[in-house]
Amino acid sequence: MEFRYLGNSGLKISEITYGNWLTHGSQVENDVATQCVRAALDEGISTFDTADVYANTAAETVLGEALKGERRESLEIFTKVYWPTGPKGKNDTGLSRKHIMESINGSLERLQTDYVDLYQAHRFDTETPLEETMQAFADVVRQGKALYIGVSEWTADQIRAGVELSKELGFQLISSQPQYSMLWRVIEDEVVPASEELGVSQIVWSPIAQGVLTGKYEPGQAPPEGSRATDTKGGADMISRFMKDDVLTAVQGLKPIAEDCDLTMAQLAIAWVLQNDNVAAALVGASRPEQVADNVKAAGVRLDADVMARIDEALGSVVVRDPGLTAANSPKSRPV
Protein backbone atom coordinates (compact mmCIF):
# COMPACT_ATOMS: atom_id res chain seq x y z
CA MET A 1 0.00 0.00 0.00
CA GLU A 2 1.10 3.55 -0.74
CA PHE A 3 0.19 6.56 1.43
CA ARG A 4 -0.37 10.21 0.55
CA TYR A 5 -0.75 13.41 2.52
CA LEU A 6 -4.31 14.73 2.70
CA GLY A 7 -4.35 18.35 1.61
CA ASN A 8 -2.00 20.82 3.25
CA SER A 9 -1.80 18.76 6.43
CA GLY A 10 0.46 16.23 8.05
CA LEU A 11 -2.18 13.49 7.86
CA LYS A 12 -1.29 10.51 5.69
CA ILE A 13 -3.98 8.20 4.33
CA SER A 14 -3.91 5.04 2.25
CA GLU A 15 -4.26 5.92 -1.42
CA ILE A 16 -6.77 3.09 -1.71
CA THR A 17 -9.45 3.97 0.84
CA TYR A 18 -12.25 1.60 1.76
CA GLY A 19 -15.76 3.06 1.41
CA ASN A 20 -18.95 1.34 2.54
CA TRP A 21 -21.57 3.26 0.57
CA LEU A 22 -24.26 1.06 -1.09
CA THR A 23 -22.99 -2.09 0.59
CA HIS A 24 -22.80 -2.22 4.37
CA GLY A 25 -26.16 -2.38 6.07
CA SER A 26 -28.01 -2.75 2.77
CA GLN A 27 -26.62 -4.78 -0.17
CA VAL A 28 -24.50 -7.31 1.72
CA GLU A 29 -24.93 -9.20 4.97
CA ASN A 30 -23.08 -7.91 8.01
CA ASP A 31 -20.74 -10.90 8.24
CA VAL A 32 -19.65 -10.43 4.61
CA ALA A 33 -19.21 -6.71 5.21
CA THR A 34 -16.95 -7.51 8.14
CA GLN A 35 -14.95 -9.94 5.99
CA CYS A 36 -14.46 -7.15 3.43
CA VAL A 37 -13.18 -4.78 6.12
CA ARG A 38 -10.82 -7.44 7.43
CA ALA A 39 -9.57 -8.03 3.89
CA ALA A 40 -8.95 -4.29 3.52
CA LEU A 41 -6.89 -4.27 6.72
CA ASP A 42 -4.96 -7.33 5.57
CA GLU A 43 -4.10 -5.54 2.32
CA GLY A 44 -2.70 -2.51 4.15
CA ILE A 45 -5.68 -0.19 3.83
CA SER A 46 -5.81 2.02 6.92
CA THR A 47 -8.40 4.58 5.82
CA PHE A 48 -12.15 3.92 5.99
CA ASP A 49 -14.88 6.23 4.71
CA THR A 50 -18.57 6.13 5.57
CA ALA A 51 -21.51 8.50 6.19
CA ASP A 52 -24.44 8.72 8.55
CA VAL A 53 -26.89 8.53 5.64
CA TYR A 54 -25.58 5.21 4.29
CA ALA A 55 -28.31 2.66 4.99
CA ASN A 56 -29.80 5.31 7.31
CA THR A 57 -26.94 5.03 9.85
CA ALA A 58 -26.61 1.21 9.65
CA ALA A 59 -23.39 1.42 7.61
CA GLU A 60 -21.62 3.31 10.39
CA THR A 61 -22.72 0.67 12.89
CA VAL A 62 -21.41 -2.15 10.70
CA LEU A 63 -18.08 -0.40 10.19
CA GLY A 64 -17.71 0.30 13.90
CA GLU A 65 -18.27 -3.37 14.71
CA ALA A 66 -15.89 -4.50 11.97
CA LEU A 67 -13.08 -2.27 13.25
CA LYS A 68 -13.58 -3.13 16.92
CA GLY A 69 -10.35 -4.25 18.52
CA GLU A 70 -8.09 -2.51 16.00
CA ARG A 71 -5.56 0.03 17.29
CA ARG A 72 -7.43 3.30 16.79
CA GLU A 73 -4.28 5.34 16.22
CA SER A 74 -3.38 3.15 13.23
CA LEU A 75 -6.66 3.95 11.45
CA GLU A 76 -8.11 6.97 9.69
CA ILE A 77 -11.90 6.96 9.99
CA PHE A 78 -13.98 9.39 7.92
CA THR A 79 -17.69 10.10 8.02
CA LYS A 80 -20.11 12.75 6.74
CA VAL A 81 -23.16 14.85 7.60
CA TYR A 82 -25.90 16.52 5.54
CA TRP A 83 -28.49 14.09 4.17
CA PRO A 84 -31.63 13.19 6.17
CA THR A 85 -31.22 10.47 8.79
CA GLY A 86 -33.28 8.83 11.52
CA PRO A 87 -36.98 9.73 11.39
CA LYS A 88 -36.04 12.52 8.91
CA GLY A 89 -37.68 15.33 10.83
CA LYS A 90 -37.36 19.00 9.98
CA ASN A 91 -33.94 19.32 11.65
CA ASP A 92 -32.62 15.85 10.79
CA THR A 93 -30.99 17.20 7.64
CA GLY A 94 -28.65 19.90 6.35
CA LEU A 95 -25.67 21.66 7.90
CA SER A 96 -27.28 23.68 10.67
CA ARG A 97 -25.44 23.87 13.98
CA LYS A 98 -28.15 21.70 15.54
CA HIS A 99 -27.87 18.95 12.95
CA ILE A 100 -24.06 18.93 12.88
CA MET A 101 -23.72 18.79 16.67
CA GLU A 102 -26.28 16.03 17.03
CA SER A 103 -24.99 14.09 14.04
CA ILE A 104 -21.35 13.95 15.13
CA ASN A 105 -22.42 12.49 18.48
CA GLY A 106 -24.53 9.83 16.77
CA SER A 107 -21.76 8.95 14.34
CA LEU A 108 -19.17 8.57 17.09
CA GLU A 109 -21.47 6.29 19.05
CA ARG A 110 -22.17 4.07 16.05
CA LEU A 111 -18.50 3.98 15.01
CA GLN A 112 -17.44 3.20 18.59
CA THR A 113 -14.75 5.85 18.63
CA ASP A 114 -14.06 9.09 20.48
CA TYR A 115 -13.21 11.00 17.32
CA VAL A 116 -13.14 10.80 13.53
CA ASP A 117 -10.10 11.82 11.60
CA LEU A 118 -12.14 13.63 8.97
CA TYR A 119 -15.70 14.98 9.22
CA GLN A 120 -17.17 15.96 5.85
CA ALA A 121 -20.03 18.16 4.70
CA HIS A 122 -21.77 15.68 2.40
CA ARG A 123 -23.20 18.47 0.23
CA PHE A 124 -23.46 22.27 0.36
CA ASP A 125 -26.44 23.51 2.38
CA THR A 126 -28.13 26.41 0.58
CA GLU A 127 -30.47 27.03 3.53
CA THR A 128 -27.89 27.51 6.29
CA PRO A 129 -25.46 30.45 6.40
CA LEU A 130 -21.99 29.15 5.64
CA GLU A 131 -20.72 31.01 8.70
CA GLU A 132 -23.01 28.94 10.93
CA THR A 133 -21.87 25.69 9.35
CA MET A 134 -18.19 26.55 9.62
CA GLN A 135 -18.52 27.72 13.23
CA ALA A 136 -20.16 24.40 14.11
CA PHE A 137 -17.33 22.50 12.41
CA ALA A 138 -14.79 24.64 14.27
CA ASP A 139 -16.44 23.68 17.56
CA VAL A 140 -16.50 19.99 16.61
CA VAL A 141 -12.75 20.20 16.03
CA ARG A 142 -12.11 22.11 19.26
CA GLN A 143 -14.10 19.52 21.17
CA GLY A 144 -11.79 16.84 19.79
CA LYS A 145 -14.59 15.01 18.01
CA ALA A 146 -12.99 15.50 14.58
CA LEU A 147 -9.38 16.23 13.67
CA TYR A 148 -9.96 17.71 10.23
CA ILE A 149 -12.87 18.91 8.10
CA GLY A 150 -13.70 18.11 4.48
CA VAL A 151 -16.48 18.60 1.97
CA SER A 152 -18.13 16.53 -0.74
CA GLU A 153 -19.37 17.68 -4.15
CA TRP A 154 -18.83 21.38 -3.45
CA THR A 155 -18.07 23.74 -6.32
CA ALA A 156 -14.76 25.56 -6.59
CA ASP A 157 -16.32 28.79 -5.29
CA GLN A 158 -17.93 26.98 -2.35
CA ILE A 159 -14.62 25.32 -1.45
CA ARG A 160 -12.87 28.67 -1.68
CA ALA A 161 -15.39 30.31 0.67
CA GLY A 162 -15.21 27.38 3.08
CA VAL A 163 -11.42 27.42 3.25
CA GLU A 164 -11.39 31.17 3.89
CA LEU A 165 -13.79 30.82 6.82
CA SER A 166 -11.96 27.77 8.20
CA LYS A 167 -8.74 29.77 8.37
CA GLU A 168 -10.51 32.62 10.16
CA LEU A 169 -11.98 30.15 12.65
CA GLY A 170 -8.73 28.30 13.24
CA PHE A 171 -9.28 24.83 11.79
CA GLN A 172 -8.23 22.99 8.65
CA LEU A 173 -10.52 22.21 5.71
CA ILE A 174 -8.28 19.83 3.80
CA SER A 175 -10.35 17.66 1.48
CA SER A 176 -13.00 17.43 -1.21
CA GLN A 177 -14.84 14.21 -2.04
CA PRO A 178 -16.19 14.33 -5.60
CA GLN A 179 -17.11 11.75 -8.17
CA TYR A 180 -14.16 11.21 -10.52
CA SER A 181 -13.31 8.57 -13.08
CA MET A 182 -12.13 8.14 -16.66
CA LEU A 183 -15.75 8.73 -17.69
CA TRP A 184 -16.64 11.56 -15.27
CA ARG A 185 -14.05 14.35 -15.24
CA VAL A 186 -16.14 17.38 -14.28
CA ILE A 187 -13.74 18.43 -11.47
CA GLU A 188 -10.71 18.89 -13.69
CA ASP A 189 -11.31 22.43 -14.99
CA GLU A 190 -12.39 24.25 -11.83
CA VAL A 191 -12.44 22.18 -8.62
CA VAL A 192 -8.95 20.70 -9.01
CA PRO A 193 -7.14 23.98 -9.84
CA ALA A 194 -8.86 25.78 -6.95
CA SER A 195 -8.07 22.90 -4.60
CA GLU A 196 -4.41 22.84 -5.60
CA GLU A 197 -4.19 26.56 -4.85
CA LEU A 198 -5.94 26.18 -1.48
CA GLY A 199 -4.13 23.08 -0.20
CA VAL A 200 -7.14 20.77 -0.55
CA SER A 201 -6.92 17.16 -1.79
CA GLN A 202 -9.51 15.07 -3.58
CA ILE A 203 -10.76 11.78 -2.13
CA VAL A 204 -12.60 10.51 -5.19
CA TRP A 205 -15.61 8.25 -5.23
CA SER A 206 -16.75 5.92 -7.97
CA PRO A 207 -13.36 5.60 -9.72
CA ILE A 208 -14.72 2.52 -11.52
CA ALA A 209 -17.93 4.39 -12.51
CA GLN A 210 -20.13 2.12 -10.37
CA GLY A 211 -18.58 -0.91 -12.03
CA VAL A 212 -18.95 0.15 -15.66
CA LEU A 213 -15.18 0.48 -16.07
CA THR A 214 -14.70 -3.18 -15.17
CA GLY A 215 -16.04 -3.98 -18.64
CA LYS A 216 -18.63 -6.44 -17.32
CA TYR A 217 -21.51 -4.50 -18.88
CA GLU A 218 -21.61 -5.07 -22.62
CA PRO A 219 -23.54 -3.04 -25.20
CA GLY A 220 -26.83 -4.61 -26.19
CA GLN A 221 -26.66 -7.18 -23.39
CA ALA A 222 -28.68 -7.47 -20.17
CA PRO A 223 -26.68 -6.61 -17.02
CA PRO A 224 -25.22 -9.62 -15.21
CA GLU A 225 -27.44 -11.07 -12.50
CA GLY A 226 -26.65 -9.59 -9.09
CA SER A 227 -24.68 -6.65 -10.52
CA ARG A 228 -25.15 -3.07 -9.38
CA ALA A 229 -27.18 -2.29 -12.51
CA THR A 230 -29.83 -4.73 -11.27
CA ASP A 231 -29.91 -3.42 -7.69
CA THR A 232 -33.25 -1.82 -6.89
CA LYS A 233 -32.03 -0.32 -3.59
CA GLY A 234 -30.22 2.53 -5.27
CA GLY A 235 -27.38 1.04 -7.29
CA ALA A 236 -29.32 0.87 -10.55
CA ASP A 237 -30.27 4.54 -10.34
CA MET A 238 -26.69 5.68 -9.80
CA ILE A 239 -25.25 3.63 -12.64
CA SER A 240 -27.95 4.50 -15.17
CA ARG A 241 -26.11 7.51 -16.64
CA PHE A 242 -23.35 5.19 -17.87
CA MET A 243 -25.58 2.34 -19.10
CA LYS A 244 -25.70 3.55 -22.70
CA ASP A 245 -24.47 1.59 -25.67
CA ASP A 246 -22.02 4.27 -26.85
CA VAL A 247 -20.43 4.42 -23.40
CA LEU A 248 -20.31 0.65 -22.97
CA THR A 249 -18.84 0.23 -26.46
CA ALA A 250 -16.10 2.76 -25.72
CA VAL A 251 -15.29 1.06 -22.41
CA GLN A 252 -14.72 -2.25 -24.23
CA GLY A 253 -11.89 -0.45 -26.03
CA LEU A 254 -10.01 -0.23 -22.72
CA LYS A 255 -9.55 -4.01 -22.50
CA PRO A 256 -6.39 -4.25 -24.66
CA ILE A 257 -4.90 -1.25 -22.81
CA ALA A 258 -5.41 -2.95 -19.46
CA GLU A 259 -3.96 -6.20 -20.82
CA ASP A 260 -0.86 -4.41 -22.11
CA CYS A 261 -0.38 -2.92 -18.63
CA ASP A 262 -0.90 -6.33 -17.00
CA LEU A 263 -3.83 -4.89 -15.06
CA THR A 264 -7.49 -5.74 -14.77
CA MET A 265 -9.82 -3.08 -16.10
CA ALA A 266 -10.80 -2.16 -12.54
CA GLN A 267 -7.14 -1.76 -11.56
CA LEU A 268 -6.53 0.39 -14.64
CA ALA A 269 -9.48 2.64 -13.71
CA ILE A 270 -8.31 3.08 -10.12
CA ALA A 271 -4.71 3.66 -11.19
CA TRP A 272 -5.93 6.29 -13.67
CA VAL A 273 -7.51 8.54 -11.01
CA LEU A 274 -4.41 8.19 -8.85
CA GLN A 275 -2.27 9.71 -11.63
CA ASN A 276 -3.85 13.07 -10.77
CA ASP A 277 -1.51 14.72 -8.26
CA ASN A 278 -4.43 16.41 -6.50
CA VAL A 279 -6.04 13.03 -5.74
CA ALA A 280 -5.03 11.72 -2.32
CA ALA A 281 -7.12 8.56 -2.44
CA ALA A 282 -9.50 6.50 -4.53
CA LEU A 283 -12.53 5.22 -2.65
CA VAL A 284 -13.31 1.59 -3.39
CA GLY A 285 -16.07 -0.58 -1.99
CA ALA A 286 -16.60 -4.30 -2.13
CA SER A 287 -19.36 -6.85 -1.83
CA ARG A 288 -16.83 -9.72 -1.63
CA PRO A 289 -13.43 -9.86 0.13
CA GLU A 290 -11.62 -10.92 -3.04
CA GLN A 291 -12.64 -7.63 -4.71
CA VAL A 292 -10.59 -5.77 -2.12
CA ALA A 293 -7.46 -7.81 -2.87
CA ASP A 294 -7.95 -7.12 -6.58
CA ASN A 295 -8.46 -3.37 -6.20
CA VAL A 296 -5.41 -2.72 -4.01
CA LYS A 297 -3.12 -3.89 -6.78
CA ALA A 298 -3.69 -0.46 -8.34
CA ALA A 299 -1.72 1.14 -5.49
CA GLY A 300 1.61 2.53 -6.60
CA VAL A 301 0.97 1.88 -10.31
CA ARG A 302 2.31 4.56 -12.66
CA LEU A 303 0.77 4.90 -16.11
CA ASP A 304 3.00 6.49 -18.72
CA ALA A 305 1.88 9.28 -21.04
CA ASP A 306 1.30 6.88 -23.91
CA VAL A 307 -1.14 4.80 -21.85
CA MET A 308 -3.00 7.91 -20.71
CA ALA A 309 -3.29 9.06 -24.33
CA ARG A 310 -4.59 5.65 -25.45
CA ILE A 311 -7.27 5.80 -22.74
CA ASP A 312 -8.39 9.24 -23.92
CA GLU A 313 -8.50 8.03 -27.51
CA ALA A 314 -10.53 4.93 -26.62
CA LEU A 315 -13.15 6.85 -24.65
CA GLY A 316 -13.35 9.84 -26.96
CA SER A 317 -16.55 11.84 -26.76
CA VAL A 318 -18.30 9.73 -24.10
CA VAL A 319 -16.24 11.40 -21.36
CA VAL A 320 -18.30 13.90 -19.33
CA ARG A 321 -16.28 17.06 -18.62
CA ASP A 322 -18.77 19.90 -18.00
CA PRO A 323 -17.64 21.64 -14.76
CA GLY A 324 -21.13 23.07 -14.33
CA LEU A 325 -22.46 19.62 -13.43
CA THR A 326 -21.08 19.86 -9.89
CA ALA A 327 -23.48 22.72 -9.17
CA ALA A 328 -26.25 21.28 -11.35
CA ASN A 329 -26.26 18.00 -9.42
CA SER A 330 -26.16 19.68 -6.02
CA PRO A 331 -29.43 19.94 -4.03
CA LYS A 332 -31.05 23.34 -4.40
CA SER A 333 -32.78 22.95 -1.04
CA ARG A 334 -32.44 20.69 1.95
CA PRO A 335 -33.67 17.17 1.18
CA VAL A 336 -36.39 15.76 3.42
Question: What is the DSSP code (8-state) at residue 222?
Answer: P
**Can you give the three-state secondary structure of 154-219, one letter per residue?**
CCHHHHHHHHHHHHHHCCCEEEECCECCCCECCCCCCHHHHHHHHCCEEEEECCCHHHHHHCCCCC
What is the residue type of 298?
Answer: A
β-partners of residue 208 are none
Which is the catalytic residue, given 5, 18, 54, 148?
54
- Cα gap 309→202, rounded to integer Å: 22
217 given a catalytic annotation? no
The alpha carbons of the chain give a radius of gyration, in whole angstroms, of 19
73: exposed, middle or buried (Cβ count in 10 Å: 0-12, 13-18, 19+): exposed
122: exposed, middle or buried (Cβ count in 10 Å: 0-12, 13-18, 19+): buried
β-partners of residue 13 are 4
Annotated catalytic residues are 54
